Amino acid sequence: MRKRSVETKAAHAGARFPVSPATYPTAMPIYQTSVFTFPDLQTAEAFNRGEPVYQYSRTGHPNGDALAAVYADLEGGEAGLAAASGMGAIFAVLFSLLGPGAHAVVSRETYGTSYASLEQDFRPWGVRVTYVDANDPVAVEAAIEAETRLLYVETLANPTLKVAPLPRLGALCRRRDVLLVVDNTFATPAICRPLEHGADLVLSSATKFLGGHSDLMAGVAAGRANLIERAKAVLARTGATVDPFAAWLTLRGIKTLPLRMARQSANAARLAAFLRSHSGVERVYYPDGDPLLPDGAGAMLAFAVRGGLAEANAVIEALELAAFVPSLGDVTTTVSHPVLTSHKHFAPGARAALGITDSLIRVNAGVESAEEIIADFAQALEKRGGSAPTSEA
């Protein structure tokens, strides 16, 4: 071994540390490196020929590729990609399929930031968008034009939990030569796999149930390999590649996804049944019994408290277990208020037409004891005569 100075030793700390070749790590290591060292010029040539050689982490790294492959496998897709957030995945997919002069048909009940991106990024670029009721296939078909490239829907609408009729939409899209792209964030592949029902691409915010613990931001997409390759190229150019640690955390979360979804679905179903029987509740939105969801209807539900904003606020304030969190997918039970959070940019008339009223509370049922979740909502509903909020949360 050559004798090295302290400066040289320090600068090369940890590089080429010999790892035992006889065993391999049980948990995937985190490849916290921005770049990979090439042993020779032949390896650089192999990379340039498109061979699977890691070069620079924005274009791909083992943790991101493992997450992409696992998500593709869970959804039943040929290939997958992993992005820095759900929006990163959505933008890359839409950008790779649309362009000036193109037309998209999009569900009226699409996540607010997806809608904002279509209106503020895609429309000024020359993309036309028609919004439809995804549960009305006749209206969907009527909206399709010669330039229509894709139909974009969510498996479960936010916050009304309407189930998109995926088999009918898939058949319609095949007949009209339009791609069906589905946001599966609320359902997850543990509950519904849209590619099995005719979708060409499926995507999810991994920030929610795939991660499951509110401690990461990531997004994923899966489907036909040629479509995923195009979206992956956009990701690499726009720099929205997932971070190695976020990908690692997501994979860790995915290990328990089916267990969490089974438990959270069962808890959501029990909470929905309780709320349906409560005199202080006007309406409950939960898709149990839908033929597209034979393994449980997921963790998300919503209910309208009898009354208005003051009554909804009193219930949210009185909840002890369920925190007011403007997100979803956690292992703990959380609530959100669509009018003041996710749907604040919608015109009041458009919101009301979708059933999104001041008294509506959205719930992410967690993994806690079902009896204790129900008891929490029972005691909170008793206090629903409270005061109106003083400021917009």
Ligand X SMILES: Cc1ncc(COP(=O)(O)O)c(C=O)c1O
Which residues bind to ligand X, rule: CB under 6 A?
A: 85-87, 111, 113, 154, 158, 183, 185-186, 205, 207, 217, 219
Q: Which is nearer to ligand X, 206 or 312 (CB)?
A: 206
Q: Which is nearer to ligand X, 59 or 113 (CB)?
A: 113
Please give the structure tokens belonging to residue 334: 């959380």
What is the rounded CA–CA span in Å between residue 163 and residue 292? 8
Q: Which is nearer to ligand X, 219 or 307 (CB)?
A: 219
Q: Which is nearer to ligand X, 133 or 317 (CB)?
A: 133
CB of 371 to ligand X, least distance (A): 29
Q: Which is nearer to ligand X, 217 or 381 (CB)?
A: 217
Do 286 and 268 form a contact (C-beta atoms < 8 A)? yes
CB of 139 to ligand X, least distance (A): 21
CB of 115 to ligand X, least distance (A): 11
CB of 100 to ligand X, least distance (A): 25
CB of 19 to ligand X, least distance (A): 33
Residue recorded with tokens 């995926």: 166
**Quick one: CA torsion of 224, 227, 228, 229, rounded to 10 degrees?**
120
Please give the structure tokens belonging to residue 283: 């309406």
Please report which helix (H) or strand (E) contains residue 361, including its range: strand 360-364
Residue nearest to ligand X (CB): 86
Beta strand segments in 212-288, E: 219-223, 281-285
CB of 205 to ligand X, least distance (A): 3
Q: Which is nearer to ligand X, 38 or 245 (CB)?
A: 245
CA-CA distances (angstroms) from residue 282 to 223, 285, 360?
A: 40, 10, 9
Please give the structure tokens belonging to residue 231: 């979206």
Sheet holding 281-285, edge to edge: 281-285, 300-305, 360-364, 334-336, 323-324
The conformation of residue 290, written as its DSSP 8-state character, comes to -
